[in-house]
Structure 1
Amino acid sequence: MTTRRDILQLLGASAGAGLMAAALPGWAAAPVTAAGLTSQRPAPGKRRFTSEAVERQLRTVKAGIADPKLAWLFENCYPNTLDTTVEIGTLNGKPDTFVITGDIDAMWLRDSSAQVHPYIPLARGDKALRRMFHGLIQRQAACIRIDPYANAFLPDPHGQRLKWAVSDDTEMKPGVGERKWEVDSLCYPIRLAHAYWQATGDTAPFDDDWRAAMALVVRTFREQQRKDGPGPYRFQRPSPIPTESQFLDGYGNPTRPNGMIHSMFRPSDDACLYPLFVPANLFAVTVLRQLAQMSAAIHHDADFAAQCRALADEVEQATRKAGLQRDADGSTHWAYEVDGYGNQLFMDDANAPGLLSLAYLGCVDRDDPVYQRTRALAWSPRNPYFFQGTAAQGIGGPHEGLRMIWPMAIILYAFTSDDDAQIRQCLQWLKTTDNGTGFMHEAFDQDDPSHFTRAWFAWANTLFGELVVHLHQTRPQLLRA
Structure 2
Amino acid sequence: MLLRGGGTLLLAAGSLATYAAGQRCQSYTSYSQSRHQPYSEGVYELAYQRPDPACRTFNSSLVEDAILRMKNQTTDPDLFRLFENTFPNTLDAAIKWRGVAANNSDEELAFIITGDIDAMWIRDSANQIAPYRTILKSKDDDIASVFRGAINLQARYLIISPYCNAFLPPPESGMRPGPNGASYIVTPPYDRNIVFTCNFELDDFGGFLQLSHDYYTQTGDVDFFGKFQWIQAVQSILRASEDLRRATYGPDGEWIRPAYTFQSQTMTSFGTLGNNGMNSPVNYTGMVRSPFRPSDDAAIYDFQIPANMMLSRYLAATAAIMEQLPNAPKGLAQQMRDMAAEIRDAVDHWGIVAAPGGQRIYAYEVDGFGGQNLMDDANIPSLLSAPSLGFVSADDPVYKATRAFVLSRQNPWYCAGPVLNAVGSPHIRPGAAWPMAAIMRAMTADDDAEITQAVKEVLSSTDRYGLIHESVSSFDAGQWTRSWFGWGNAVFGQMMMELAERKPHILKQSFQPFFIERDGE
TM over 0.5: yes
Q: Name structure 1 gaps, 5 residues minimum.
A: 11-18
Contact 1:8 1:455 in 2 (8 A): no
Secondary structure of the residue aligned to 1:104 is: coil
Secondary structure of the residue aligned to 2:484 is: coil
Structure 1 residue aligned with 2:469: 441
Which of 80, 91, 114 aligns to 2:101? It is 91
Q: Which deviates further from its counterpart, 220-229 or 266-275?
A: 220-229
Secondary structure of the residue aligned to 2:137 is: helix
Alignment of 1:2-401 (within 5 A): 6=11, 23-24=30-31, 29-30=36-37, 32=39, 39-86=48-95, 87-92=97-102, 93=105, 94-125=107-138, 127-156=141-170, 159-163=177-181, 165-170=182-187, 171-173=189-191, 174-206=193-225, 207-227=227-247, 229-299=256-326, 301-327=329-355, 330-401=358-429
Contact 2:186 2:262 in 1 (8 A): yes
Contact 1:26 1:43 in 2 (8 A): no
Q: Which deviates further from its counterpart, 305-314 or 192-201?
A: 305-314
Q: Size of the alignment, in residue pairs?
A: 469
Structure whose residues are more often helix by fraction: 1
Cα deviation code 1:294-325 (max 9, x no counterpart): 11123465500111111112222222111111
Q: 1:63 to 1:142 in 2, by over 3 A?
A: same
Q: 1:169 to 1:145 in 2, by over 3 A?
A: closer
Q: Aligned partners of 1:305, 1:450: CA distance in 2, in Å? A: 50
Report deviation, 1:288: 1.3
Q: Counterpart of 1:109 in structure 2: which amino acid?
A: I
Q: Aligned partners of 1:195, 1:169: CA distance in 2, in Å? A: 32
Q: Counterpart of 2:202 in structure 1: which amino acid?
A: V
Report deviation, 1:200: 0.2
Q: Aligned partners of 1:22, 1:146: CA distance in 2, in Å? A: 29
Structure 2 residue aligned with 1:15: none
Report deviation, 1:327: 3.9
What fraction of aligned residue pairs are identical, expressed as a percent? 35
Q: 1:381 to 1:9 in 2, by over 3 A?
A: farther
Contact 1:194 1:291 in 2 (8 A): yes
Secondary structure of the residue aligned to 1:6 is: coil
Q: Counterpart of 1:23 in structure 2: which amino acid?
A: S
Q: 1:208 to 1:371 in 2, by over 3 A?
A: same
Q: 1:90 to 1:390 in 2, by over 3 A?
A: same
Contact 1:335 1:344 in 2 (8 A): yes
Report deviation, 1:210: 1.2
Report deviation, 1:408: 0.5
Q: Aligned partners of 1:480, 1:84: CA distance in 2, in Å? A: 29
Report deviation, 1:444: 0.6
Cα deviation code 1:215-251 (max 9, x no counterpart): 0000110000015634331101111111000011111
Contact 1:405 1:444 in 2 (8 A): yes
Q: 1:212 to 1:7 in 2, by over 3 A?
A: closer
Q: 1:20 to 1:77 in 2, by over 3 A?
A: farther
Q: 1:20 to 1:369 in 2, by over 3 A?
A: farther
Q: 1:21 to 1:214 in 2, by over 3 A?
A: closer
Q: Counterpart of 1:90 in structure 2: which amino acid?
A: V
Secondary structure of the residue aligned to 1:461 is: helix
Cα deviation code 1:171-194 (max 9, x no counterpart): 232301100011111110110001
Report deviation, 1:258: 2.1
Contact 1:27 1:46 in 2 (8 A): no
Q: Which deviates further from its counterpart, 125-134 or 356-365?
A: 125-134
Report deviation, 1:34: 6.7
Q: 1:141 to 1:469 in 2, by over 3 A?
A: same
Secondary structure of the residue aligned to 2:398 is: helix
For the pair 1:450 / 2:459, whether they are aligned, the reply is: no
Q: 1:37 to 1:232 in 2, by over 3 A?
A: closer
Q: 1:322 to 1:21 in 2, by over 3 A?
A: closer
Q: Which deviates further from its counterpart, 70-79 or 314-323?
A: 314-323
Report deviation, 1:120: 1.4
Secondary structure of the residue aligned to 1:56 is: helix
Q: Aligned partners of 1:88, 1:81: CA distance in 2, in Å? A: 13
Q: Aligned partners of 1:160, 1:179: CA distance in 2, in Å? A: 15
Q: 1:116 to 1:7 in 2, by over 3 A?
A: closer
Q: 1:252 to 1:22 in 2, by over 3 A?
A: closer
Secondary structure of the residue aligned to 2:273 is: coil
Q: Which deviates further from its counterpart, 301-310 or 55-64?
A: 301-310
Contact 2:407 2:422 in 1 (8 A): yes
Report deviation, 1:203: 2.7
Contact 2:283 2:369 in 1 (8 A): yes
Q: Name structure 2 gaps, 5 residues minimum.
A: 1-8, 16-25, 251-255, 510-521
Q: Aligned partners of 1:386, 1:25: CA distance in 2, in Å? A: 28
Secondary structure of the residue aligned to 1:450 is: strand
Q: Aligned partners of 1:95, 1:27: CA distance in 2, in Å? A: 34
Q: Aligned partners of 1:342, 1:386: CA distance in 2, in Å? A: 24
